[in-house]
Structure 1
Amino acid sequence: MSSEDNLLSLLIDSDQLEANLGNTNLLVIDVSCSRESYDNGHIPGAVFLDYRRLFNGHSPVPNKLPTQEQLSLLFSELGLSRDTHVVAYDDEGGGWAGRLLWTLDVIGHARYSYLNGGILAWRADDKAQEQEQTLPQASHYQAEHINLHERIELDELKSKIGTENFAVWDSRSRGEYEGTSSKAERAGHIPTAVHYEWTEAMDKENELRIRDMAEIITELQTKGLTIDQEIATYCQSHHRSGFTWLLGKILGFKQVRAYDGSWNEWGNRSDTPIET
């Protein structure tokens, strides 16, 4: 994605967004964890998206990428067009916002930005908020699964484990990684996976904005995740790894791919290798 082709850069702050509010090509989407957060105060003009619309909802792995038909309906309801520049934010440091932007990338829509720190930063910066719901103007958007290199599925991931210049990034909690806690039938992590919990990159004293990026890159390199690798990132449902996928893009990693099946798929199968 070239910044020259976009209204805004990938990572923006509240001042940059504020200066562009009202632009007819701008669509601000609130992907907060609850509708209550949106109703309590949101960025002027922002539309609300229930994060569950970013899952296909089909068994046995309901958290996987929605179908093209589901995505066409969703983004038509949101009023997306090929010229729309999306700004995504949430109230938790970037997990759901990252999942949304990953979804846009998969369908070939590269005009997007992430508001650093989301609504928490917006409020801390004393920016204007509104409580009245903004209803999007519907469009006719045809979504297709185009950029599948942004996604990695189970069979390909299994085949690449341990291969040269390929790494796996586990963004879950330490307990989930070590197998002392589990949200699936089996506990542990994908073999060779490096653990770097998603919240480690957030400044908890500064509204969950992304910490100093040079420090994060050094920390990741120390753990074995380098900028020139192909990296597959996952969590339980590709929510927390929505942020780590986004973080990799922001840091300029060569290729970060999301395993949207995540542990909800891997840990509930009997034919997947596991380490603890």
Structure 2
Amino acid sequence: MNLIIEAEDLVAELEHEELLIVDLSSSQNYLSGHIPGALHLPFHVLMAGTPPAPGKLPDLDQLTHIFRSIGLRPETHVVACDDEGGGWAGRFLWTLEVIGHRNYSYLNGGMRAWRGAGLPLTTEEPQITPSNIEVSIDTASTMDAEQIQAQLDNPNFTVWDARSPQEYSGERVLAMKGGHIPGAINCEWTQLMDPQRDLRIRTDAREFLAELGIDDKHRVVTHCQSHHRSGFTWLVGKSLGFDICAYPGSWSEWGNLPDTPVKQ
């Protein structure tokens, strides 16, 4: 199964016994109708939730509990979706990457695309058999503030800031300091969604990003305020074959550290 899967193609896979569909929509939207067999995972469990950087990973015990409770096994192929265009689904798939589970796909456009195609919905919740999977952390898909600072003068390194232009410029301040990481390129996450195609990833994403200076010739790290919006930008970069990782501390950490450089 491809990393990016279309709704019509997922229908043919619904009866596959190794398939696990994880819906990170709001509870209300999930309960009003979801893909048959999909389980609901509240998105807040993906974050540590501790200030000043709530977007950091939960600890290993919490991650182990999450993945055992949804029945994840090494042979499982996971398809993630949400109802907002890919932020929480991307964050979840990035978390799978972090624990070394790489059998996963994103439902392009999520539940917006599924509903838009008129595909089957159910209100029945699946019975989940917990697993005993062992979880460990692979840091290759993450960067921290110290690692980013060490790369800021590297011409082969790019920071993709997925926040709004107002946050990037410092007009809107959501930490002790406002502005952006020096050299960071701003491309708000929603710019990669096509509103005319039920929020699927825009078909010209590669060209659009290349014009901004974000491409497969650079090592890319992406962030937002708490690594929610940048869950989607990480996913887009991954789908384009970029050498991309994420900074889960994001601006809530960078903007509150005393020694991190900031540009406005």
Question: Where on the TM-score scale, by shorter chain, does this alignment land: which range?
Answer: over 0.9
Q: Deviations over 1:149-182 (max 9, x none)?
A: 1000110011111212001000110100111002
2:4 corresponds to 1:16: no
Q: Deviations over 1:77-116 (max 9, x none)?
A: 0000000000000001100000000000011000000000
1:31 CA drift (Å): 0.7
2:24 corresponds to 1:31: yes
Report runs of 4+ in structure 1 exceeding 4 Å deviation: none
2:123 corresponds to 1:131: yes
Paired with 2:52 and 2:194, the residues of 1 have a C-alpha distance of 36
Q: Secondary structure at the match of 1:221?
A: helix
Paired with 2:56 and 2:195, the residues of 1 have a C-alpha distance of 29
Q: Deviations over 1:208-234 (max 9, x none)?
A: 01111xx22222112111212100100
1:136 CA drift (Å): 1.9
Indicate the percent of aligned positions where both proteins have the same amino acid: 46
Paired with 2:253 and 2:132, the residues of 1 have a C-alpha distance of 33
2:257 corresponds to 1:269: yes
1:244 CA drift (Å): 0.4
Paired with 2:241 and 2:257, the residues of 1 have a C-alpha distance of 33
Paired with 2:37 and 2:249, the residues of 1 have a C-alpha distance of 33
In the superposition, the TM-score normalised over structure 1's length comes to 0.93
Paired with 2:44 and 2:16, the residues of 1 have a C-alpha distance of 28
Match of 1:231 among 216, 220, 227: 220
In the superposition, the TM-score normalised over structure 2's length comes to 0.98
- Equivalent pair of 1:73/1:141 in contact (CA under 8 Å): no
1:195 CA drift (Å): 0.6
1:183 CA drift (Å): 1.7
Q: Deviations over 1:53-97 (max 9, x none)?
A: 101233442210122111111000000000000000000110000
**Higher mean Cα deviation, 83-92 or 216-225?**
216-225
5+ unaligned residues in a row in structure 1: which ranges?
A: 1-7
Write the letter of the residue equivalent to 2:110. Answer: G
- Equivalent pair of 1:172/1:197 in contact (CA under 8 Å): yes
Q: How does 1:1-276 map to 2 (within 5 A)?
A: 8-32=1-25, 34-146=26-138, 148-212=139-203, 215-253=204-242, 255-276=243-264
Paired with 2:167 and 2:49, the residues of 1 have a C-alpha distance of 23
Paired with 2:110 and 2:177, the residues of 1 have a C-alpha distance of 34
Give RMSD over aligned pairs. 1.0
